Amino acid sequence: MAIVVTGATGNVGRPLVAELVAAGAEVRAVSRDPKSAGLPAEVKVFDTAAAAIPGATALFLNSRALQGEMASVVAQARQQGGIRLVALSAINADDDFSRQPSRYRGDRNTEADQLAAGSGLPWVSLRPSVFVTNFAGMWSGQIRAGDVVNGPYAAASSAPIVEADIAAVAARALLSDDLLGQRIPLTGPQALTNTEMVDIIGSVLHRALHYDEIPVDLVRQRFVSLGFPAEFGAAYVALLATTLGGPAEVTDSIEKILGRPAVTFEQWVRDHISLFTN
């Protein structure tokens, strides 16, 4: 079994490669910079998905990694035949694009889902909630610098998922027939508000941290100052606003598929405490 993993050195791709290698699969990793990929020695590294596909039996589609090549890669897989597609989509893939901030960072979650399902090949679409590492990216610098985290909507909620859990489900989808033909919403085990997540980080660090809600206009301006397109900040704020009326969706898909609970936000913080202290 030869499995192509696009985005092989990313937050989901790297643990996915490790899962597949541990399962004894032949892994063909697609990386933009293979010399610095740092992948296991037995993994075959390719510059492009097109070069990795011939003879493969399964393909993990990461739209951000593939950029504008995704449609042609799926077409190549369809022409070859005998290959299954596992698409990395998102839990909000059916929402209006104005509430999909990741689109403005290169994700094409809606298209990945549609291409896989419409390919005529065996397929699975994974639809995870917000990645837990996003909060480290937004908050770790502020926490290292002081005790206040600034951001929008203190009461906005999410059910952040650990990327290794996504990778474990992706490995199951690539290696077995159990999940074929499904769009699977994946979340962490709890819906947490921004305030609750900052409190959890503070508890792990034994510090009294505080989430300070700031005006959404300032949030949008901050993203622009950091080099993000204006549409990203607008979509991010709009997405959070949809969660103010109640807790974010939580599913038990991780536990049903893997036979164990999804990793909690608190456990992830404990496992990655250096992100908030160094």
Give the CATH number for residue 255. 3.40.50.720
Rounded alpha-carbon distances, angstroms, from residue 191 to 11, 30, 133, 135, 276:
21, 34, 16, 14, 22
Name the residue with tokens 């990386």.
31
How many domains are there within the chain? 1
The confidence score (pLDDT) of residue 25 equals 97
Low-confidence ranges of the chain (pLDDT < 70): 34-37
Residue 81 lies in domain = 2-129+162-187+249-262
Decide if 39 contacts 97 (C-beta within 8 A).
no
Identify whether 237 is part of a domain: no
The confidence score (pLDDT) of residue 38 equals 81
What angle (nearest 5°) sits at the alpha carbon of residue 162, between those of residues 42 and 158?
Answer: 155
Identify whether 171 is part of a domain: yes
The confidence score (pLDDT) of residue 1 equals 87
The confidence score (pLDDT) of residue 226 equals 87
Identify whether 123 is part of a domain: yes
Identify whether 95 is part of a domain: yes
Decide if 103 contacts 235 (C-beta within 8 A).
yes
The confidence score (pLDDT) of residue 36 equals 58
The confidence score (pLDDT) of residue 35 equals 59
Identify whether 155 is part of a domain: no
- Output the 3-class SS for the chain: CEEEEECCCCCCHHHHHHHHHHCCCEEEEECCCHHHCCCCCCCEEECCHHHHCCCCCEEEEEHHHHHHHHHHHHHHHHHHCCCEEEEECCCCCCCCHHHCHHHHHCCCHHHHHHHHHCCCCCEEEEEECCECHHHHHHHHHHHHHCCEEEECCCCCEECCECHHHHHHHHHHHHHCCCCCCCEEEECCCCCEEHHHHHHHHHHHHCCCCEEEECCHHHHHHHHHHCCCCHHHHHHHHHHHHCCCCCCCCCCCHHHHHHCCCCCCHHHHHHHCHHHHCC
Specify the amino acid at residue 123. W
Rounded to 5 degrees, what are φ and ψ at 131? -70, 140
Contacts with 28 (C-beta within 8 Å, 6 or more apart), sequence order: 2, 3, 4, 5, 43, 44, 45, 46, 52, 56
Identify whether 80 is part of a domain: yes
**Whole-prediction pTM:** 0.95
Residue 22: HSE in the Cβ half-sphere, 13 Å Cα cutoff: 10
Identify whether 214 is part of a domain: no
Tokens standing for 39?
């992948």
Identify whether 112 is part of a domain: yes
